[in-house]
Amino acid sequence: MPKFLVQISYTTEGVRGLQKEGGTARRAAAQKLVESVGGKLEAFYFAFGAADVIAIADVPDNVAAFATALATVVTGTVKSQTTVLVTPEEVDQAAKKAVSFRPAGG
């Protein structure tokens, strides 16, 4: 199952909700969201800096990952950035894959 890194930043409204509900409630909501698309929440941490939450999830595919992003961002309480994570074994496979490419000007 593909693995995704999700970085979430709360809006002012989102921070108010976090203060009201607490961190464990937000983790439970994230877990339920990921499980609803057949995935598994691997990690969920609050952080200082540009991202307020860092999460890692195993999700069946890009469609499921995009569905979770849409469901959260449409609320207006968060902004998110999702990164597909690639294993070292997948990098090994990619490095051995024959491709055809001509560089610009080449």
Distance, CA of 83 to CA of 61 (rounded, Å) = 13
Query: Whose CA is closest to 43, among 5, 78, 70?
Result: 5
Query: Whose CA is closest to 32, among 55, 2, 62, 1?
Result: 55
Domain ranges of the chain: 3-96
pLDDT of residue 81: 96
User: Which residue shows structure tokens 């995935």?
Assistant: 39
pLDDT in tens, the chain (106 residues): 999 999 999 999 999 999 999 999 999 999 999 999 999 999 999 999 999 999 999 999 999 999 999 999 999 999 999 999 999 999 999 999 999 999 999 7
Fold of the domain spanning 3-96: Alpha-Beta Plaits (3.30.70)
Asked whether 80 and 72 are in contact (CB, 8 A), the reply is: yes
Give the helix/strand (H/E) hosting 70.
helix 62-73
Give pTM, 2 decimals.
0.89
Kindly provide the residue ranges of all beta strands, DSSP E only, lying in 11-106, ordered along the sequence.
40-46, 53-58, 78-85
